[in-house]
Structure 1
C-alpha cells in the first residue's frame, strides 16, 4: 500500500460565504418560471417517437408531475 500524500490548500482571508453565489428567492422564482415554461413546451411536443403508447404516456405523466412539483416550490417561495 502506497503512503498517503497530502496537498496543501491555500486559505483565503475571507469568510466562507463570501466565496459563494447566493441565490435570492426572486432569482429562484425566475429560474423556476423558465424551467416550467421549457417543460411545458417539451410536454406539448411530439418528440417522443418510436416509443410505445405506455412509455409515451409515462413520459408525459412524469413531465406533468415535474411541472406540478416546480409550481408547488414556486408557490412556497412566493409565500414566505
Structure 2
C-alpha cells in the first residue's frame, strides 16, 4: 500500500523557490567566466566537449550575458 502524500493548504505558487538578483548575478558571473574560458580554449586550439558553438556564437552569447549582468547590477542599485 502506498503512503498518502500530505497536501499543504497553500497554493503551489506559495512554495516556489525564488531566485534573488544577487544569486542570479553570481550564477551569471560564473557562466560568463566559463564562456570566456571556452573562448580562450578555442583561441588556443584546445577545444573540449563543452564547446558546442562556433566562436562567433560564443562571442554573441558572452556579449548578451554581459549586457544582462550590467542591467541586473544597475537595477539592483537603490537611489535616493
TM-score normalised to the size of structure 1?
A: 0.68
User: With CA pairs under 8 Å and 6+ residues apart, which has the higher RCO, 1 or 2?
Assistant: 1
Q: Which runs of 5+ in 2 are unaligned?
A: 1-5, 76-80
Give SS of 1:72's match: helix
* Pairwise CA distance, 1:11: 4.8
- Which residue among 15, 19, 24 is the counterpart of 1:23? 19
**What CA deviation, in whole Å up to 9, does each residue of 1:28-49 have, x standing for no partner?**
110000000001101111217x
- Structure with higher Rg: it is 1
Alignment of 1:59-74 (within 5 A): 59-74=54-69
Query: How many residue pairs get matched?
Result: 62
Whole-angstrom distance in 1 between the partners of 2:64 and 2:13: 29
Whole-angstrom distance in 2 between the partners of 1:27 and 1:75: 14
Instruction: Write out the 4+ residue segments of structure 1 that deviate beyond 6 Å after TM superposition.
Output: none
Whole-angstrom distance in 2 between the partners of 1:68 and 1:29: 15
